[in-house]
Amino acid sequence: MTGAEEHPLPAEVLAAVREARRILVLTGAGMSAESGIATFRDAQTGLWEEFDPMRLATPEAWAEDPAFVWAWYAWRMHLVRAVEPNAGHRAIAELGRLREVSIATQNVDDLHERAGSSVAAHVHGSIFDLRCSDCGAPFVGEPELPEEPVERLDPPTCPECGGDVRPGVVWFGEMLPEDAVAATEAALEALEPGDVCLVVGTSGLVFPAAGYPAMARSEGATVIEVNPVETEISDMCHHVVRGSAAQVLPRIVAALG
């Protein structure tokens, strides 16, 4: 990764984080990239290469072929279980010991939690929160996860009603979980001038989550993007650090002394 490791972090970024009382961290798929989880936008691996994740992560795809969609999520659950949080996740956990930090993530993995952070909101749900797609009952069983990607895999069956068990993620066209939205909005409203909103690893394309950085800015927070490339929200940020989560975040936290 060129960039952050060669260039010093902008002094105003370090000053903003140093002086912040509250820090709202908004993370997207780029946060987990250096753990080995492909970002949502990257071509899907192997079997799902020709399928657009935007088409697969929908109620329509599930209704049409639950076994095909379940196979994709079972494989992704296996991948998350097989990787570790990266230095970026660990830096945010450390930041949470130095400042009042709230995390709202678009990621459905549990890597922030496994790094030691508590997450205020999984705005797109959690891949391991399984529930019946018919009666909504939480499914507490351990689903069988494939060691290799398989094209189709029957989802577990709900013990209450026999319905197909689905992943607890938010599909396109579905409402975001009310508790996650409420927690994120509360964290945004708590921001005051001098506080910081760190936006890490998101393309800023998916709404309503993509609107959160602008809301942080309107609360007076200093908005800082950490992303190797320009995104839909870059020009709305006060500062951008063109580098990766695992390279930049540890250096920001180290500068807090």
Residues marked active site are found at 124
CB nearer to ligand BV8: give 206 or 252: 206
Considering only 79, 198, 209, 216, the residue that binds ligand BV8 (CB under 6 A) is: 209
Considering only 50, 140, 148, 173, the residue that binds ligand BV8 (CB under 6 A) is: 173
Distance CA 68, CA 55 (A): 12
Neighbours of 244 (CB within 10 A): 24
With CB cut-offs between 5 and 8 Å by kind, which of ligand BV8, Zn ion, none does residue 113 bind? none
Neighbours of 257 (CB within 10 A): 6
CB nearer to Zn ion: give 158 or 240: 158
Select from 34, 56, 31 the least CA-distant residue to 43: 56
Q: Does 157 bind Zn ion (CB under 5 A)?
A: no
Q: Does 201 bind ligand BV8 (CB under 6 A)?
A: yes
Considering only 43, 63, 82, 161, the residue that binds Zn ion (CB under 5 A) is: 161
CB 201 within 8 A of CB 184: no
CB 184 within 8 A of CB 121: yes
With CB cut-offs between 5 and 8 Å by kind, which of Zn ion, ligand BV8, none does residue 57 bind? ligand BV8
Bridge partner list, 196: 23, 222
Q: Does 141 bind Zn ion (CB under 5 A)?
A: no
The verdict on whether omega for the bond into residue 208 sits within 30 degrees of 0, i.e. cis, is yes
Bridge partner list, 121: 104
**What residue number has its CB nearest to ligand BV8?**
30
Distance CA 141, CA 59 (A): 22
Q: Which residue has the tokens 């994740």?
A: 53
Considering only 9, 29, 93, 119, the residue that binds ligand BV8 (CB under 6 A) is: 29
Contact region for ligand BV8 (CB under 6 A) — 16-24, 94-102, 187-195, 203-211?
Answer: 203-211
Tokens of 122: 């999984």
Considering only 2, 178, 207, 257, the residue that binds ligand BV8 (CB under 6 A) is: 207
Considering only 113, 129, 134, 185, the residue that binds Zn ion (CB under 5 A) is: 134
CB 23 within 8 A of CB 17: yes
Tell me how far apart the terminal alpha carbons of the chain are, to the nearest angstrom.
25
Q: Does 135 bind Zn ion (CB under 5 A)?
A: yes
Name the site residues for ligand BV8 (rule: CB under 6 A).
Answer: 28-30, 33-34, 39-41, 57, 106, 108, 124, 169-176, 200-203, 205-209, 226-229, 231, 244-245
Name the site residues for Zn ion (rule: CB under 5 A).
Answer: 132, 134-135, 137, 158, 160-161, 163
